Amino acid sequence: MNESKKAYVQLHIAVILFGFTAILGDLIHISAIAVVWWRVLISWISFLFLIKLIPLLRKLTTAQIFRFLGIGVLVGIHWITFFGAVKLSNASVTLICFSTTSFFTAFLEPWIIKRPFYWHELLLGLLILPGMLLIVNGLDTTYYLGIAVGLFSALMAAVFSVLNKKYIHLSTPKEITAIELFGVWLFISLIAPLVFWYTPTIVWKPTNIDFMYLLVLALLCTTLAYLLSMQALKYISAFANNLAVNLEPVYGIILAVVILNEHKDLNFSFYLGVAIICLAVFSYPFLRKRFEQNESSLG
């Protein structure tokens, strides 16, 4: 198996694990920001068994360390708004909002990484929009705030994915992930007093069952999934990465129907929108191959 195919296998395993994220976020009863704080703390502790922290910090420059910490802040904002969207709407709606990450990436990746602009990526990104419109039109207005928060979360996901692609060569996926996760935890720890000031009733302490869910969320859906996706990013584009991650809603919605019975809140328009988004996901490999063949023939 060549490195590119291996990367796609790793990525899809990660996507299946990511598919559980919204489900666990719905099952855990503490506040969204607390979910992320505990998730990252547990996950980062697990990384201490995978890396040698002191040699890592000596190897990277101060600027590089702060760069990855800054990306970690973006990851933290993405996760907080992701779980916030779950609380404001439901797991299925949030996962579909997350699928617009590819649309944002189609514009951001050429600009940030300074690579050529590919029209087939833009077209696939645009194909996701009618799917989103069908989904929004088929939902009650009480979900609209959750949709807005979910779309912002998708934008943050696109930004940090592209930045990771840009700087992935500076270190190993394990080392980069460890620094970014610490950046997430540090960011939330610093803003926590402000959060408590404005919302003193916020629920931060998990129950026993919450903590069990948090262990699964941190170790499988974060540590393992994040490592696999970062490793895959060495061999595929950020757009291809995010388009494949769009399968997360498919897995997540299936899980939400089975575990949370969310199909009671969803209608035909919603599932038609999901089908359009899936079409964009599965069309990418074929369009990319055709695009590369056209480029080589012109060259």
Of the candidates 133, 149, 175, 143, which has an alpha carbon nearest to the alpha carbon of residue 78? 149
Task: State how far the Cα of 248 lies from the Cα of 101, in Å rounded to an integer.
Answer: 11
Total structural domains in the chain?
1
DSSP summary character for residue 243: H
Domain that holds residue 67: 3-298
DSSP state of 116: -
Model pLDDT for residues 163-181, shown as the tens digit of each residue: 988 888 888 777 888 889 8
- Residue 30 DSSP label: S
Whether 39 and 20 have beta carbons less than 8 Å apart is answered as no
- pLDDT score of 249 more than 80: no
SS3 of residue 31 by DSSP: coil
Token pair belonging to 25: 């976020």
Q: Is the pTM of this model over 0.85?
A: no
- What does the pLDDT read at residue 141? 78
Question: Mean pLDDT over residues 131-135, rounded?
Answer: 77
Say which residue, 29 or 262, is predicted with more confidence: 29
Contact 18, 194 (CB under 8 A): no
Q: Which has the closest alpha carbon to 168: 259, 99, 238?
A: 238
Compute the distance between CA of residue 14 and CA of residue 227 in angstroms, rounded to an integer.
8
Question: What is the Cα–Cα distance from 23 to 216, expressed in whole angstroms?
Answer: 11
Task: Calculate the dihedral angle through the C-alpha atoms of 160, 165, 168, 174, rounding to the nearest 10 degrees.
Answer: 60
% of the chain exceeding 70 in pLDDT: 87
Answer yes or no: are the C-beta atoms of 273 and 138 closer than 8 Å: yes
